[in-house]
């Protein structure tokens, strides 16, 4: 994945309603860091839902902004290919690690099927006990009445522990996992230079670490962690001989297991502070946690977009998309589509169809670990409600400057017993 942090944040953000449509570029990273992206997408949904941006830092691309149109693209992998790149910008030819989310069938299907038992439904019962123990331990160590960074103490720590379990990763080194995830997606936020040489160096360290684990797991009896599953899979056991493909799939599994849950954990606390009536509703009826969780994920939309490449000329939404064109599905827009989701800008924890959202994608590339992510959020909120009367957000959170990861680096909170 290429770095999606841009230097555009230094320029002012124009009002999207005053721009000529052909100058409207929804890929600007600062739109997401400031929340201005919602207004941009609202105009596109209303006036130009299949929108062409001729010039951007990533080159020309199409934006798909309405819910139903996104589903149509996401479920048509024959015409809209995932092959090679899933973000707006193209990875450099000399550093484009293959990963199964950026593959089409049949190669995609084989690799996904091999890794999926690590997060399969039959493992949820086993994982639930472990997650609840870890959530309780994390929450019991938090200071009540003192201000602290929720992102670091809770969001990162909980998801890091879960990632360490799914990879059977050495516990003492578990904080390397979110570090590598951040380098993969938004490297400036963790103080790593955005140039490709630095990224390749850091991810080379990641590859070397996991290569050692791979050799160990291949020599041991098979287990249900990601590395063991891949190392013993009939179609994937030789991946160790293709370092770039191994690295690509590591990047995919680390980011996929980190960003969705980590930023939803933070986003949920923020949303319930912004909508105190919904928090009061939740306190009065804790069983609403079940519908709260998918509403958090819709509201946050942890990954703002996925990109496809047209394999042929096609008329779509009244526009002619040419073979080879980049086609970007803006999940962040589809989850606010007022024609499909009632009052989409409102955070409503008891929606009639709470799981009718697109934060996990659709079709063959739908998020493999979505049930594990939902389980972590469910348990977290059950345990939070049992311990604290209120989680107060102190000041504005610091958001990631990225058009891909919709996340946070800092959110100061104060717990009330």
pLDDT of 259:
78
366 found inside a domain: yes
2 found inside a domain: no
278 found inside a domain: yes
70 found inside a domain: yes
Residue-range definition of the domain harbouring residue 242: 8-416
Q: How many CB atoms lie within 10 A of CB 366?
A: 12
Q: How far apart are CA 398 and CA 311, in angstroms?
A: 39
The tokens for 378 are 């469910």
CB 1 within 8 A of CB 251: yes
Question: Tens-of-pLDDT digits for all 417 residues of the chain?
Answer: 333 333 334 467 889 999 999 999 999 988 998 889 999 999 999 999 999 999 998 899 999 999 999 999 999 999 999 887 788 877 665 566 766 676 678 887 888 788 888 888 888 888 899 999 999 999 999 999 999 999 999 999 999 999 999 899 999 999 999 888 888 775 333 333 356 677 788 889 999 999 999 999 999 999 988 999 999 998 889 999 988 888 888 888 888 778 779 999 999 999 999 999 999 999 999 999 999 999 999 999 999 999 999 999 999 999 999 999 999 999 999 999 999 999 999 999 999 999 999 999 998 888 888 888 999 999 999 999 999 999 999 999 999 888 998 999 999 999 999
Q: How far apart are CA 259 and CA 159, in angstroms?
A: 8
Half-sphere exposure of 79 (CA within 13 A, CB side): 13
**For the residues of 270-315, what is the DSSP string, one character each?**
HHHHH-HHHHHHHHH-GGGHHHHHHHHHHHH-SB-EEEEEESS-EE
Contacts of 170 (CB under 8 A, 6+ apart): 164
Please, is 231 exposed, middle or buried when counting C-beta atoms within 10 Å of its C-beta (0-12, 13-18, 19+)? buried
322 found inside a domain: yes
3 found inside a domain: no
Q: E strand or H helix at 114, and its extent?
A: helix 107-115
301 found inside a domain: yes
CATH assignment at residue 201: 1.10.630.10
118 found inside a domain: yes
| Number of independent structural domains in the chain | 1
Tell me the pTM.
0.90
Long-range contacts of 312-316 (CB under 8 A, 24+ apart): 312/79, 314/79, 316/50, 316/69, 316/72, 316/73
């Amino acid at each position: 994945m290429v770095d999606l942090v841009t230097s555009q944040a230094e320029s002012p953000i124009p009002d999207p309603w005053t721009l000529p449509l052909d100058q409207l570029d929804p890929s600007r990273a600062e739109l997401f860091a400031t929340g201005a992206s919602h207004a941009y997408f609202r105009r596109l949904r209303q006036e130009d839902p299949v929108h062409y941006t001729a010039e951007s830092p990533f080159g020309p691309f199409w934006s798909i902004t309405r819910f139903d149109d996104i589903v149509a693209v996401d479920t048509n992998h024959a015409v809209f290919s995932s092959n090679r790149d899933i973000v707006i910008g193209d990875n450099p030819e000399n550093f484009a690690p293959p990963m199964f989310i950026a593959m089409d069938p049949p190669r995609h299907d084989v690799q996904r099927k091999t890794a999926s038992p690590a997060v399969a439904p039959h493992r949820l019962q086993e994982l639930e006990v472990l997650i609840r123990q870890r959530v309780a331990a994390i929450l019991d160590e938090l200071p009540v009445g003192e201000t602290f960074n929720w992102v670091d103490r809770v969001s990162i720590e909980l998801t890091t522990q879960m990632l360490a379990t799914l990879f059977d990763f050495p516990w003492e080194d578990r904080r390397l996992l979110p570090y590598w995830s951040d380098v993969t997606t938004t490297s400036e936020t963790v103080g790593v230079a955005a140039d490709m040489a630095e990224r390749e160096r850091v991810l080379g360290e990641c590859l070397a670490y996991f290569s050692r684990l791979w050799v160990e797991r291949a020599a041991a009896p098979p287990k249900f962690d990601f590395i063991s599953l891949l190392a013993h899979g009939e179609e994937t056991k030789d991946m160790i001989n293709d370092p770039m493909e191994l690295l690509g799939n590591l990047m995919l599994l680390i980011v996929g297991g980190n960003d969705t849950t980590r930023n939803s954990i933070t986003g949920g606390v923020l949303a319930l502070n912004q909508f105190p009536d919904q928090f009061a509703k939740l306190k009065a009826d804790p069983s609403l946690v079940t519908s709260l969780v998918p509403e958090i994920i819709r509201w946050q939309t942890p990954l703002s977009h996925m990109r496809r490449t047209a394999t042929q000329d096609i008329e779509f939404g009244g526009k002619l998309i040419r073979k080879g064109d980049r086609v970007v599905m803006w999940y962040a827009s589809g989850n606010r589509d007022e024609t499909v989701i009632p009052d989409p800008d409102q955070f409503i924890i008891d929606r009639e169809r709470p799981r009718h959202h697109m934060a996990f994608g659709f079709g063959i590339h739908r998020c493999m670990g979505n049930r594990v992510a939902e389980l972590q959020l469910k348990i977290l909120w059950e345990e939070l409600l049992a311990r604290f009367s209120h989680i107060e957000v102190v000041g504005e959170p610091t958001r990631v400057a990225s058009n891909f990861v919709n996340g946070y680096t800092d959110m100061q909170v104060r717990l009330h017993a």
